[in-house]
Structure 1
């Protein structure tokens, strides 16, 4: 075993045996707030499509492009920035992606026409494309294995507040008067840009991932960060830390990108690519299309945004519900059970016509969605090694964004031909296929170290 491999093994073992500290919680908060903007953007496409359909006279194809433009940028960004994160570092890409998103989101708020808006939404999505990939990768590499799932779920609980907040802001701003000479939808874009810019400044205090540094041969830098974490943990606990195990797991190493298509990782890659395509329809389909589906049911734009906002309250509730479950139930099992919940509640939402039923089934669907989401976000960090983790997750994740580009064109066509019931019945069938994919091809991971998995 080389000196670099030995250092990497000991770095991982030292991180995994630490008790959680204030620094771990602060990292979780700063990283989780970044997920807020990714999820805010996902909702925003549906709001803009519903609002601009009237004010700009958009047809079905133009509305689809309003939703799809941001996702197309996220597809490109997930491929490029996630691979660069394995080459240049997690922290550096954290700063690049939010900075680009803040700039282009602010510029899109002043777009004079549809073409300019679509181009700027694409560029904003490009900047944000690797955000959730980096959230998962960074926290998984820092957090002790005993709390890895729970703390990632905390991070997403913070992030998912962005969905109902954006919906409530959307309903209020769209229904209200112009503010300082600007339409309400433009202020939604400005708010996202300013919030992301502020968070980027706060994230400059984050350290680089010691696991990544060790794999890249930068042991001295990794040692400084790990030693600081150990000193803080000892000071907070008021005692000695658990000893580093003498027998530790298989060492991490630099891994070429092609490794994801060989040996054990080939099966996992195939499973996860299939998963990401299928989960997009069931999960992101509701979040991005709900306002358009509700207007197709005959509700006004304002009422549709209100019902969607109330339904989206299930996102943070589901995320919070996942916290006590995620480290107690095998991740693979939790994914399958919650996916079946999405399928059933989605069909009920499609049939619902009364406002109370729309909101009730919408909340149940979003609760199931975020138990599902938190479980799979933890799961994907565990099935690939450090040298490949960001790239493998990012490339698979980009497929979900590419599916999100196609989704509005297909879904709005199905909506026009078969109505909301047809849309959600098809979505339910795809979620059942997803369950089979994970059950047959997915490994068990709960409670095991990243290196051993």
Structure 2
């Protein structure tokens, strides 16, 4: 049997498995890791107004507090995603959380701004590739028919960290407990929780698609065999008949093998050639622009609310209420990501972000501000879940983590620069001007995806990657 046929057979066995408790458990364990990336993304916006008061920070200092972790994430998304294609998804899954946990705990005891920024940068390196690995790992295990919904479930687990950081922050950040400032407890909590998730990840298998792409078919076959046995055992315990899939597997494997021959084992440099060039350009452009669409609101909302006259404590409380839209938006996305074409869902939800962002920016009524922010965050997570699924589907296994990670690192670089631009613009133009400019950039994002993005729903990874 040729290498293409062996890899296709392994992929077909995974695609045709019944969805079981094992799939749900893996999705939960991986999703718990996404919590920390999202926790970090919005933590800067919570810490900035508090540290500005405690350490007497200027606008530049507040911007640095927000951007320091993003700068580290830029490095981490680039380097660790490349490492995941070279040394494996599971191994880097362990490394990134360990690095994040250690430096997050260390940053909690920062004596001044300079030390804090360095440690936050290093923690950002650790967590930078987390979402890239979440996307690649789950896409390579999940059957095509449920890939979108289950990746969305993983992010739903993670997104509960967003309102948590604001609502808990509003209660603890302004006062000390056991002689330790409240904001330091937010960092301690994140670091310790990451160690718990790191321990649970020891149960994860290595991606058999990655193993096959490296030519280690014996190890890949062993992983798939263990997964199949766990699924069969679950079905027997549940009293469900165990299907015989050999004939269907053979047919599906033949289709995937043909797709892999068209793919011709691309290298990373091939992402800038042929059918992949347009996808790479689209995704690079998208990642820069989605920083404004997605991270702009979450990381700046507490500062925007302070600029509208709210106190630090009340701004965190109101931000927490708007952030409730993140997990709810993720739940809303579950039936949508399989029902509607991914690229269409990205565009429609991005338009919603722009519209509600304008209302949030120009409004002076507290109920309207909170309502607009809440609806914006719902749209944000329909948008986020759709694009996280989408980016896993348009690149081949051999370079999936690297191609996604390099593109994703651009969003982190833009996120590191955004606070310096947005905070200065907020001082000069007000919230309305900031969100007006954001709406223009979101419109450009929609055009980019519409013109250059391929269709992907319900197709095997090998088929989508090999089709123009």
Same fold (TM over 0.5): yes
CA distance in structure 1 between the aligned counterparts of 2:208 and 2:323, rounded to whole angstroms: 36
Q: Does 2:142 align with 1:143?
A: yes
CA distance in structure 2 between the aligned counterparts of 1:240 and 1:290, rounded to whole angstroms: 51
Question: 1:4: Cα distance to partner?
Answer: 2.4
List alignment gaps of at least 5 residues for structure 2: none
List alignment gaps of at least 5 residues for structure 1: none
Give the count of matched residue pairs.
451
Comparing 106-115 with 350-359, greater Cα deviation is found at 350-359
Q: Confirm or deny: 8 A CA contact 1:5 1:215 kept in the other structure.
A: no
Question: 1:84: Cα distance to partner?
Answer: 0.5
Q: Name the counterpart of 1:244.
A: 249
Residues 370-403 of structure 1 deviation map (CA, whole Å, 9 limit, x = unaligned) = 0000000000000000001000000000000000
When you count helix as a share of all residues, which structure comes out higher? 2
Question: 1:245: Cα distance to partner?
Answer: 3.4
CA distance in structure 1 between the aligned counterparts of 2:389 and 2:166, rounded to whole angstroms: 26
Q: Name the counterpart of 1:23.
A: 22
Q: Does 2:359 align with 1:348?
A: yes
Q: Does 2:311 align with 1:300?
A: yes
Comparing 183-192 with 228-237, greater Cα deviation is found at 228-237
CA distance in structure 1 between the aligned counterparts of 2:375 and 2:192, rounded to whole angstroms: 32
Residues 53-108 of structure 1 deviation map (CA, whole Å, 9 limit, x = unaligned) = 11110000011011010000000000000000000000000000000000000000
Question: 1:351: Cα distance to partner?
Answer: 1.2
Q: Confirm or deny: 8 A CA contact 1:95 1:200 kept in the other structure.
A: yes
TM-align CA RMSD: 1.0
Q: Name the counterpart of 2:231.
A: 233
Comparing 375-384 with 240-249, greater Cα deviation is found at 240-249
Choose the corresponding residue for 1:367, options 346, 355, 378: 378
SS at match of 1:204: helix
Residues 138-165 of structure 1 deviation map (CA, whole Å, 9 limit, x = unaligned) = 0000000010000001000000000001
CA distance in structure 1 between the aligned counterparts of 2:389 and 2:128, rounded to whole angstroms: 18
CA distance in structure 2 between the aligned counterparts of 1:253 and 1:144, rounded to whole angstroms: 23
Q: Does 2:24 align with 1:13?
A: no
SS at match of 2:144: coil
Residues 291-336 of structure 1 deviation map (CA, whole Å, 9 limit, x = unaligned) = 0111111110001000100000000000000001110100011000
Choose the corresponding residue for 2:222, options 206, 221, 224: 224
SS at match of 1:217: coil
Question: 1:231: Cα distance to partner?
Answer: 2.3
SS at match of 1:20: coil
TM-score (normalizing by structure 1): 0.98
Residues 169-224 of structure 1 deviation map (CA, whole Å, 9 limit, x = unaligned) = 1100123x311111000000000000001100110110000100111111111111
Question: 1:256: Cα distance to partner?
Answer: 1.8
Choose the corresponding residue for 1:328, options 317, 334, 339: 339
SS at match of 2:461: coil
Q: Name the counterpart of 1:212.
A: 210
SS at match of 1:244: helix
CA distance in structure 1 between the aligned counterparts of 2:50 and 2:250, rounded to whole angstroms: 58
Choose the corresponding residue for 1:314, options 302, 322, 325: 325
Question: 1:248: Cα distance to partner?
Answer: 1.9
Q: Name the counterpart of 1:194.
A: 192
Q: Confirm or deny: 8 A CA contact 1:157 1:319 kept in the other structure.
A: yes
CA distance in structure 2 between the aligned counterparts of 1:307 and 1:228, rounded to whole angstroms: 48
SS at match of 2:57: coil
Comparing 81-90 with 224-233, greater Cα deviation is found at 224-233
CA distance in structure 1 between the aligned counterparts of 2:413 and 2:352, rounded to whole angstroms: 25
Matches within 5 A, 1:49-448: 49-175=48-174, 177-235=175-233, 236=235, 237-242=240-245, 243-246=248-251, 247-249=254-256, 250-251=259-260, 254-448=265-459
CA distance in structure 2 between the aligned counterparts of 1:10 and 1:104, rounded to whole angstroms: 42
Residues 103-150 of structure 1 deviation map (CA, whole Å, 9 limit, x = unaligned) = 000000000000000000000000000000000000000000010000
Question: 1:253: Cα distance to partner?
Answer: 6.5
